[in-house]
Structure 1
Amino acid sequence: MKRKCALVTGCAGFIGSSLSERLLREGYAVIGIDAFLHNYDRWVKEQNLRNLLEHPQFRFFERDLRTLSFSELISRVDVVFHQAALPGVRTSWGTQFQEYVDHNILVTQALLEAAKDSNLNKIVCASSSSVYGGMNGPTEETQAPHPISPYGVTKLAAEQLCQLYASQFGVPVVSLRYFTVFGPRQRPDMAFHKFIKSVLTGQPIEIYGDGEQSRDFTFIEDAVTANLLAANSPLTGEVYNIGGISRLNLNEVLSMIESHTGKQANRCLLPAQPGDPKHTFADIRKAQTHLGYDPQFDIEHGIRLQIEQVKSLYNI
């Protein structure tokens, strides 16, 4: 039987590398592409790739997706997992916004355009809870998006392009709205990674606001599973919330990290930042019903695993 082949964009990133490894375990051949964007150090991404590069069914290409011709690659694969993007709410303001437009909107449009006349089974695109803006309670996909950062605007535009190409050209694409994914390999600019590293090394921890802002946290393995479920679903043109089973505020997260490291956090409170929602809260019933999504990992288990990975990464 012919082996299924997947294309993973952003394969050296947090979710992309974890997804690529899972696909290989599931029997896929994987083509991975990454541009090593400047959002964090290249050596960290190279660490993410280390195991993948040793696998005989993994092929890696370092390419800038802004200038890549997708058509030839798409002709060789069954499914595309489009994880590549320029992330970050706070850095999306000002002159850097053009980069967000290029990487998050124009690259997605180029991929969808190339997929119009292909035989792809599915494209799964990574979106973000940032499309909603702030949330006061469980938020379902029918709620009108109201992004409060330029980053959120670009992710919403990419989503809408996916729905447009699905309805007008039959492109088999779905979008997953991730809610604060955490776990081993989380980006160094994200809260858990920064908190854990700072607690372990005794450095001050910058908290924007009072620390009472809450997030719906999604463990990396649950996010990866959601991608596989979406790839195997016959539904297209849909968006799904991908949340977890743990929702805490940042002060509670820090206390948990202190408990598991045996070290005290050195908190440094700073003014709240534009574009940061006070709360996020995923209603995942649609993903449960359509995809069979059933998140399994709680935050305490995930934090323990992430602490061990951060210790290993920095030799702490």
Structure 2
Amino acid sequence: MKILVTGAAGFIGSHLCERLLQLNNIEVIGIDGFINPLLNQTKQRNLQELLSNPRFKFHQVDLREADLKTILDGIEAVYHLSGMPGVRTSWGTDFQGYVDHNISATQVLLEAVRESSLEKFVYVSTSSVYGEKIGKVTEESVPTPLSPYGVSKLAGEYLCNVYQVNYNIPVVTLRYFTVYGPRQRSDMAFHRFIKGILNDETLQIYGDGTQTRDFTFVSDCIEGSVAVLKAENVIGETINLGGKERASVLDVIKHIEELVGKKATLKFVGGLIGEPRDTWADISKAKELLDYYPATSLRNGLICQINDFVKFYQTE
């Protein structure tokens, strides 16, 4: 089976490619546009193990400029993870990048797969489409994103739905909740917290730090994503992938302090512009359709991420 993964050099995309290649008779074609030059070194590291695998082929190209007809030849499943991430950077003139890479690129890919015979087209979305909700959030909750980033990802969902209805593209939408773990991007919270505490830097905390998130360890997220391949009765479904436990930002910092044996210096700045105060995934549908049961505790996940940081980042 040949599978296309967009965003293959990214944090989650590289983990997904590695997991897919552990399966028998799977070939993976990866695409990544390296759209943020600041992440080039990180992405090259993410690809190191993959590039040594003969069943992995990689194209460094913007989706909007790729020869998708050729790339899609023989492809039976697509995981579409590529795009422009980040809530706080999606305002102002920077939003054009989100339009280009989250909306336009998705439409280009959907047009290309119209001519393909796919078994699954998996669109990776985000809990940011929900906005502010109280309690566990089900997939039936009305999306009310709070940021331009959330709007761009929701637009991608709507595009997928339109192409599914009109062209029978076998779309499955996954909404990830706050994924963390080894190889997390340097702009993401856990990476910043670990780096700051280890290097005696002041941590900037948005809001009062009591806001909570449904933190999802990357390997759990990947297992749920891979399960879509063989799952039945999932075409047209939107499915939450959340974590084993929720925690506040201050809880996370306390865990890291205990694990590395150092105290954090905190500076509280501004509010939660564009972000909900709390997120909490109802994963009942994922349990039913994907046999999804996240297994990694926050503490154990943090141990893995800290070890990865020490291995790869302390020498930079």
TM-score by length of 2: 0.96
Which consecutive residues of structure 2, in runs of 5 or more, have no partner in the other structure?
none
Counterpart mapping for 1:303-314 below 5 A: 303-314=302-313
Matched with 1:50 is 48
- Superposed counterparts of 1:152-301, under 5 Å: 152-234=150-232, 235-301=234-300
Asked if the contact 1:7/1:79 (under 8 Å) is kept, the reply is yes
TM-score (norm 1): 0.96
Q: Does residue 35 of structure 2 align to residue 6 of structure 1?
A: no
Give the secondary-structure state (helix, strand or coil) at the position aligned to 1:66: helix
Does 268-277 or 252-261 show the bigger shift? 268-277
Summarize the alignment of residues 6-45 of structure 1 with structure 2, pairs less than 5 Å apart: 6-27=3-24, 28-38=26-36, 40-45=38-43
Q: SS at the partner of 1:231?
A: coil
Contact 1:104/1:158 (<8 A) preserved: yes
Moved more, 159-168 or 129-138: 159-168
8 Å CA contact 1:124–1:231 kept in 2: the answer is no
- The amino acid that maps onto 1:175 is T
Contact 1:10/1:82, CA 8 A, preserved across alignment? yes
How far the C-alpha of 1:273 sits from its partner, in A, is 3.7
Taking the aligned partners of 1:289 and 1:47, their CA distance within structure 2 comes to 36
Give yes or no for contact 1:166–1:236 (8 Å, CA) kept in 2: no
> 1:162 deviation in Å?
1.1
Stretch moving more, 257-266 or 233-242: 233-242
Contact conserved, 1:75 with 1:119, CA < 8 A, in 2?
no
Mapped partners of 1:313, 1:134: distance in 2: 36
Matched AA of 1:264: K
Contact 1:14 1:186 in 2 (8 A): yes
Which stretch has the larger CA shift, 190-199 or 107-116? 107-116
Change over 3 Å in CA distance of 1:260–1:39 after alignment to 2? farther
Aligned length: 313
Q: CA deviation at 1:72?
A: 2.2
Structure 1, residues 194-231: CA drift from partner, whole Å, max 9, x if none?
10111111111100110001000111011111111112
Deviations 1:266-288 (A, max 9, x none): 11110114102111110011111
Question: Could you tell me which amino acid in structure 2 is paired with residue 130 of structure 1?
Answer: S
SS at match of 2:229: helix
Secondary structure at 1:8's aligned position in 2? strand
Correspondence list, 1:114-133, <5 A? 114-133=112-131
Cα deviation code 1:4-47 (max 9, x no counterpart): 11111111100000000111111311111111121742111111
- The RMSD of aligned alpha carbons is 1.2
| Partners of 2:115 and 2:235 in 1: CA distance | 16
Find the residue that maps to 2:117 and give its secondary structure: coil
Letter of the structure 2 residue corresponding to residue 265 of structure 1: A
Aligned-residue offset at 1:246: 1.1
Matches of 1:285 and 1:151, distance apart in 2? 26
Q: 1:290 to 1:277 in 2, by over 3 A?
A: same
1:261: Cα distance to partner? Answer: 0.3
> 1:238 corresponds to which letter in structure 2?
E
Q: For structure 1, list consecutive stretches of 5 or more residues without a partner in the other structure.
A: none
